Amino acid sequence: MAKAVSSWRLNHTYKKVSKNTNINKKALKKAFSYYKKNQKKKKLSTKYLAIADYTKSAKHKRLYIINLHKGSVSRYKVAHGKRSGVIGGKVRRSSNKRNSKMTPYGFFKVGTKVGKTKKKRYRYLSVQGLQWSNKKVGYPTRRGGRDVIIHPAKYVN
């Protein structure tokens, strides 16, 4: 297992990212705080932290991938779930309920499933919920869980 990211490194990266990007400051603070408290217990990545800022429209690059060692940030366009908001717009509603198809809320890590969607053949990554409120996300559907995947969509390209 990779060595945990030191508090000094996390603080340094947080300050650099906060100063040099337009990431929502409240979301950034919450994400780094959660990461600091849970990186070992939840076996979080020691390289990257991602934040999806759904207060921004899907027409904008609202997914931020933060390199925890360099403090660099890559930005990408990202869609959201059905009935969460208008296509290409902002997220207005979210849900962690099974079969809602809405964008889930909370903290996640990349799951173990990768593949292609059935209809449009988009490549995807699964996500796994890390909190009590979203613990069923990424849990097998046959056991009452909810499959949630991250994938591209034409309207955000």
Q: What is the pTM of this model?
A: 0.86
State how far the Cα of 46 lies from the Cα of 67, in Å rounded to an integer: 9
- Sequence-ordered list of residues with C-beta below 8 angstroms from that of 137, at least 6 positions apart, any chain: 96, 104, 106, 108, 127, 128, 129, 145, 146, 148
18 or 112: which carries more pLDDT confidence? 18
pLDDT of residue 83: 86
pLDDT of residue 10: 97
Predicted confidence (pLDDT) at residue 142 exceeds the cutoff of 80? no
pLDDT of residue 70: 96
Band (pLDDT 50/70/90 cuts) for residue 1 is low
The 10s digit of each residue's pLDDT in 55-100 is: 999 889 999 999 999 999 999 988 888 889 888 888 999 998 988 9
The 10s digit of each residue's pLDDT in 14-65 is: 999 999 999 999 999 999 999 999 999 999 999 999 999 989 998 899 999 9
pLDDT of residue 38: 95
